[in-house]
C-alpha cells in the first residue's frame, strides 16, 4: 500500500493533480501476456467521463489515454504499465472568487493543515478526477481476472430505489443548485473459492479498503450487511449444498460470497454509500483563511454534478477488479 499506491502484487500508483498537466497511473506487477488494447482502456474511461450522462458535469475532458510503457503489440510485457491522460479543460480562473475560502465538504482545510499547501485550483489529489487513473488501471485488471466479472449498478438515488423517480429528483436538485447522494450495488461473479486470507487480508477488508478510498464514500456493507445485525444466526448461516455438478455450494447467499475473509465461490455482493456532491450552488457558512465569516457557493459557470454517485459504477468496478487481481496473485502462494 502507500499514500498513492494500492495493492501488494498487482499494484497501482496514481499521480496528477486535477488542475495540473495530467494524471496517470503506473501498474506494477501485472503478469506478462495479458491481452489489452488501448481502445479497451479508453472505452472504460469514456464510461466515467463527465458529460456522457444527463445530469453529470458538462466538463469536456475527453480524457484520451496514452500508453507509455508495458504493453507491446497488444500484450502486457510483465514490466510496469504507465498510462497518461493529459488534462485539457483546466481553466481555474473561475475559482478566483473562492480561492481563499474553506470549502464545506471538501478537503482544502484539512490539506492546508496537513501539507501547509492551499491549492485553490481545485481538489488536487482529493479530486474525483484521480479516479480516472483507477479506471484506466482497472480496465487491465478486468482483462486479467476474466472470467471473473464485476458489475456495479446504481440502486438508490436520494433515498429512492424506484428508478422511475430519479429523473424528477435530479431535475429538482439541479434547479435548486443542490445535490443528492446514492447507493451503488456491486456483484462479482465467477470468483474461484479461496481468494483472500483469514486475518488482515480478508477479501472483504481489502474490498472495503478500496471502496472507502473512493472520494465521497461513507459506508460499505457485504451480503446482508447492516441488515445482518438485525437477524438471527439460524437465518444468516447459509446452508451448504451440492449443486447439480457436484460442486459444494450454498442454498442462499446471505454471506455475500466471502466467508471468514475468503471467497466461497458464491457471487460477491456489496453496497457502497455515497454522500451528495459537496460542490453545490447554495450558500453554506464558511471562513476564509484569515478567519472571516463568508458564504461559500460555487461560482457561476462552474461545473456541477448534482449526484456524484451517477458516475461511480465504473470506478467501483475498477477498484473491485484491482482488489481481485491482487488477491488472485497473492493466492498463488497459499499452497506448496
**According to CB under 8 A, which residues from 77 to 136 bind a copy of itself?**
77-82, 84, 102, 104-107, 109-111, 113-117, 119, 123-126, 130
Greatest CA separation found in the chain? Answer: 70
| Options 41-49, 88-96, 226-234, 310-318: segment touching a copy of itself (CB under 8 A) | 226-234
Look-up of cell digits 472520494: 215
Quick note: the x/- pattern for a copy of itself over 135-174, rule CB under 8 A, is ---------x-----------x-xx-------------x-
Contacts (CB under 8 A) with a copy of itself, residues 44-83? 66-70, 72, 77-82
Question: Which residues sit opposite 154 in a β-bridge?
Answer: 184
The set of cell numbers assigned to 30 is 501485472
Q: Contact 274/309 with Cβ under 8 angstroms?
A: yes
Q: Contact 126/215 with Cβ under 8 angstroms?
A: yes
Residue 303 in contact with a copy of itself, rule: CB under 8 A: no
The set of cell numbers assigned to 286 is 464558511
**Smaller CB separation from a copy of itself, 186 or 211:** 211
**Smaller CB separation from a copy of itself, 164 or 333:** 333
Residues touching a copy of itself, count (CB under 8 A): 146
Question: Which residues sit opposite 272 in a β-bridge?
Answer: 184, 220
- Could you tell me the smallest distance in angstroms from the CB atom of residue 34 to a copy of itself? 6
For 234, counting Cβ atoms within 10 Å of its Cβ (0-12 exposed, 13-18 middle, 19+ buried), the class is: exposed
| DSSP β-ladder status, 75-76 and 71-72 | antiparallel
| Options 39-47, 53-61, 91-99, 190-198: segment touching a copy of itself (CB under 8 A) | 190-198
Residue of 2, 91, 168, 301 that binds a copy of itself (CB under 8 A):
2
Q: Contact 105/179 with Cβ under 8 angstroms?
A: no
Terminal CA-CA length for the chain: 26
Residue of 122, 138, 256, 313 that binds a copy of itself (CB under 8 A):
256
Amino acid at each position: 500500500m502507500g499514500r498513492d499506491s494500492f495493492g501488494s502484487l498487482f499494484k497501482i500508483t496514481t499521480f496528477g493533480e486535477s488542475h495540473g498537466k495530467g494524471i496517470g497511473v503506473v501498474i506494477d506487477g501485472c503478469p506478462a501476456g495479458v491481452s489489452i488494447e488501448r481502445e479497451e482502456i479508453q472505452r472504460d474511461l469514456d464510461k466515467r467521463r463527465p458529460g456522457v450522462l444527463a445530469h453529470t458535469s458538462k466538463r469536456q475532458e475527453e480524457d484520451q489515454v496514452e500508453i507509455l510503457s508495458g504493453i507491446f503489440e497488444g500484450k502486457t510485457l510483465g514490466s510496469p504499465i504507465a498510462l497518461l491522460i493529459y488534462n485539457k479543460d483546466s481553466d481555474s480562473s473561475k475559482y478566483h472568487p473562492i480561492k481563499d475560502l474553506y470549502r464545506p465538504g471538501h478537503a482544502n482545510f484539512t490539506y492546508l493543515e496537513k501539507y501547509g499547501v492551499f491549492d485553490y485550483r481545485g481538489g488536487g489529489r482529493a479530486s474525483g478526477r484521480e479516479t480516472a487513473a483507477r479506471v484506466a488501471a482497472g480496465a487491465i485488471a478486468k482483462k486479467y481476472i476474466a472470467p471473473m466479472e464485476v458489475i456495479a449498478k446504481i440502486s438508490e438515488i436520494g433515498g429512492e430505489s424506484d428508478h422511475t423517480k430519479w429523473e424528477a429528483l435530479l431535475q429538482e436538485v439541479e434547479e435548486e443548485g443542490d445535490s443528492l447522494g446514492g447507493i451503488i450495488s456491486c456483484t462479482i461473479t465467477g470468483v474461484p473459492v479461496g481468494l483472500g486470507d483469514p486475518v488482515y487480508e480478508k477479501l472483504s477488508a481489502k474490498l472495503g479498503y478500496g471502496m472507502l478510498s473512493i472520494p465521497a464514500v461513507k459506508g460499505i456493507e457485504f451480503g446482508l450487511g447492516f441488515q445482518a445485525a438485525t437477524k438471527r444466526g439460524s437465518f444468516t448461516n447459509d446452508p451448504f449444498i451440492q449443486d447439480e455438478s457436484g460442486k459444494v455450494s450454498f442454498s442462499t447467499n446471505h454471506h455475500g460470497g466471502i466467508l471468514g475473509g475468503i471467497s466461497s465461490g458464491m457471487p460477491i455482493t456489496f453496497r457502497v454509500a455515497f454522500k451528495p456532491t459537496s460542490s453545490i450552488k447554495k450558500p453554506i457558512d464558511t471562513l476564509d483563511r484569515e478567519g472571516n465569516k463568508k458564504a461559500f457557493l460555487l461560482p457561476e459557470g462552474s461545473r456541477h454534478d448534482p449526484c456524484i454517485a451517477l458516475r461511480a459504477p465504473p470506478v467501483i468496478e475498477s477498484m473491485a477488479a484491482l482488489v481481485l487481481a491482487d488477491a488472485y496473485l497473492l493466492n498463488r502462494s497459499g499452497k506448496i
